[in-house]
Structure 1
Amino acid sequence: MGQPLVDRFARVHRDLRISLTDRCSLRCTYCMPEQGNEWLARQSILTLDEIVEVARVAAASGITTFRLTGGEPLLRTDIVEIVRRLAALESPAGPIEIAMTTNGIRLPEVLPDLVDAGLARLNISLDTIDRERFHALTRRDRLDDVLAGVRAAQLAGLRPLKINAVAMRGVNDGELADLVAFAIAHDAQMRFIEQMPLDAGHTWDRSTMVTREEILAALSERWALTPVPGRGGAPAEQWRLDDGPHVVGVIASVTAPFCGACDRMRLTADGQLRNCLFSIDEYDLLPVLRSEVAPSERAADVDRILRNCIAGKKAGHAIDDPSFLQPARGMNAIGG
């Protein structure tokens, strides 16, 4: 315990994405059905203490960033205390950075307390700023609430503030430049994500996906794009707009995968470790976390499972391989 988490391909893991719930206040068409969702059993959801127990072991082994995801993480009533407890941990490299991905709906209510607790970075998911399109896409009339969340984040001063949008053909591909302009107006960075095969209904169709090249072509009609070097293990490639201060990112998991530099692993809300977003294998921590053994023995078991998970990580997700199998879980149950 305490040694870096290094896989067979010499990738050192520094980022743990922690899903807090599979539930969400929206029903985005590319993520989950409007009705009939099979939610995780409440008794299987990790408690605050269990999350911290895993995080403490991960931090000791070199994880330096915890990103809180869902579902919608702000639906957890103990979200402020989760941030506070995790922010108090340290890795051998120093303090842990706490980030979050959210739909923004509850931000005006809880963001001041989250910042006070130690939240350092924020990503807000927003696929469209057109009211009718937002309602059709999310099946909820909550655009004003999300926009209020974006404004709250802008005023809170967390930087870089990022806005994420899944680019979809025939849905929002005509407003990509407008989304970038919206982000700039709110002192945020726009990031576009290629639609991935992670919907709960397994209806993903590659032909509906807007590719990296199409996204860049659309943006090039309004701005000159200059690549930003030094991407490292970050999922997004970045381009500077008109050689100015603003940048836009593209996460091209399908057409330009970045698996070779991946430093991330995931913890689902029900205690399953995953070494890849697209993995079909999971490593169950729940029996260990709920075993009646000494805390030191439990920590050693958590560390062992962490290392087994990393040891099983493949070179890449192989979406373009004919043998690729979509994960059984949808994105809301894996964690964004």
Structure 2
Amino acid sequence: MTAPLIDPFARPITYLRVSVTDRCDFRCTYCMAEHMTFLPKADLLTLEELDRLCSAFVGLGVEKLRITGGEPLVRKGIMAFFRSMSRHLASGALKELTLTTNGSQLRKYAAELADCGVRRVNVSLDTLDDARFAAITRWGRLPQVLDGIAAAQEVGLRVKINAVALKGFNEDEQFSLTEWCAQQGHDLTWIEVMPMGDMGEEARLDQYWPLSDVRARYAQRFTVTDLAERTGGPARYVRLEETGQKIGFITPLTHNFCESCNRVRLTCTGELYMCLGQEDMADLRAPLRASADDAVLVAAIRDAIARKPKGHDFDYSRQRVVGQVSRHMSHTGG
């Protein structure tokens, strides 16, 4: 029952990303359609069911739990879930409990998150320009997000900024965003836009700004040193020697990062995706609800991990989107 999870390519699965809702108070153009049809609330796992699922994974060796959405902090009662998960930090079974957020609700919840043992958060922020922010998020308010980030800092949370690299949108902000992060003490990670959801091929190709270009532009202005740091995740890191900053690059297209993948993704309806870039998934809701005994659930988890593929197939070469998956990013939480 407690043997660790090892996939067919000898990769230990130690990281679970959990989408607790598909809903969000923003409508970012690369993540969602403007008029999304969200899941009926009755289809979502209860917070108690999410607790049981996550606890099963922790019992199988998962050491890092990242809560995502949609926007996780818009889920009603979500802090009860964080408080419950903190028991695994207290026991030592879980090494990190964290979340990815758009920052809109951090002023409200930052102190409570810190009390639950959260030590750092990832905040998605693609621009520091009010008008651009309103355009890219459709519904977003930049001052609210910046205030949320400030609230996180006030209670001692480390903040990492995740910026999606978008051609023709934030190319001219590469250095101003980097400078702002340096001033605020935030790490910064750039992410290539991924072909997820039905946004239209032309829109995806128009948005695609390869991070090889971003790195080359840094090298024109800074001394860029490659770092050997590996977290098992997709990011590759460099240091800008003049500022001492660590800059991350998540490059599913220009550099396939699958060889060290240690993660799986659980949706708010109990679907387990073994790979972000593949359609294959396992339904864990049925075995979860079939028996109060976790043996059935654990067996389903092990069966799913045995199907984890070697990698994904994202590709923008030859001016077409190859390997696109149909679900929106908000469905699996990135």
Q: TM-score normalised to the size of structure 2?
A: 0.93
**Runs of 5+ in structure 2 lacking a partner?**
none
Q: CA contact under 8 A between 1:31 and 1:200: conserved in structure 2?
A: no
Bigger drift between 79-88 and 93-102 goes to 93-102
Q: Counterparts of 2:6 and 2:163 in 1: how far apart (Å)?
A: 31
Residue 327 of structure 2 aligns to which amino acid in structure 1? R
Q: Percent identity?
A: 38
Q: In structure 2, what is the equivalent of residue 314 of structure 1?
A: 309
Q: CA contact under 8 A between 1:166 and 1:195: conserved in structure 2?
A: yes
Q: Counterparts of 1:228 and 1:239 in 2: how far apart (Å)?
A: 5
Residue 21 of structure 1 aligns to which amino acid in structure 2? T
Q: Counterparts of 2:125 and 2:282 in 1: how far apart (Å)?
A: 31
Aligned ranges for residues 183-194 of structure 1 at < 5 Å? Answer: 183-194=181-192
Q: In structure 2, what is the equivalent of residue 31 of structure 1?
A: 31
1:4: Cα distance to partner? 1.0
Q: In structure 2, what is the equivalent of residue 165 of structure 1?
A: 163
Q: In the superposition, relative to structure 1, how do residues 47 and 167 fare at CA in structure 2: closer, same or farther (>3 Å)?
A: same
Three-state SS of the structure 2 residue aligned to 1:240 is strand
Confirm whether residue 146 of structure 1 aligns to residue 145 of structure 2.
yes
Q: In structure 1, what is the equivalent of residue 221 of structure 2?
A: 222
Q: In the superposition, relative to structure 1, how do residues 202 and 70 fare at CA in structure 2: closer, same or farther (>3 Å)?
A: farther
Q: Counterparts of 1:259 and 1:91 in 2: how far apart (Å)?
A: 31
Q: Counterparts of 1:325 and 1:165 in 2: how far apart (Å)?
A: 23
Aligned ranges for residues 102-251 of structure 1 at < 5 Å? Answer: 102-159=101-158, 161-203=159-201, 205-206=204-205, 208-242=207-241, 244-251=243-250
Q: In structure 2, what is the equivalent of residue 15 of structure 1?
A: 15
Bigger drift between 248-257 and 229-238 goes to 229-238
Three-state SS of the structure 1 residue aligned to 2:172 is coil
Q: Counterparts of 1:64 and 1:42 in 2: how far apart (Å)?
A: 29
- Structure 1, residues 277-311: CA drift from partner, whole Å, max 9, x if none? 112111111122223x3x22xx1121112111111
1:262: Cα distance to partner? 0.2
Q: CA contact under 8 A between 1:128 and 1:179: conserved in structure 2?
A: yes
Q: CA contact under 8 A between 1:239 and 1:248: conserved in structure 2?
A: yes
Q: In structure 2, what is the equivalent of residue 63 of structure 1?
A: 62
Confirm whether residue 47 of structure 1 aligns to residue 46 of structure 2.
yes
1:210: Cα distance to partner? 1.1
- Structure 1, residues 107-164: CA drift from partner, whole Å, max 9, x if none? 01111011112222200000000111111111125000011111112222223x2000
Residue 319 of structure 1 aligns to which amino acid in structure 2? F
Residue 302 of structure 2 aligns to which amino acid in structure 1? R
- Structure 1, residues 200-246: CA drift from partner, whole Å, max 9, x if none? 43545345311121111222233211111131412211111116532
Confirm whether residue 278 of structure 1 aligns to residue 273 of structure 2.
no
Q: Counterparts of 1:323 and 1:116 in 2: how far apart (Å)?
A: 44
- Structure 1, residues 19-41: CA drift from partner, whole Å, max 9, x if none? 01001111111111212x12112
Q: In the superposition, relative to structure 1, how do residues 5 and 94 fare at CA in structure 2: closer, same or farther (>3 Å)?
A: same
Bigger drift between 219-228 and 23-32 goes to 219-228
Three-state SS of the structure 1 residue aligned to 2:119 is strand
Q: CA contact under 8 A between 1:200 and 1:331: conserved in structure 2?
A: no
1:327: Cα distance to partner? 2.2
**Runs of 5+ in structure 1 lacking a partner?**
none
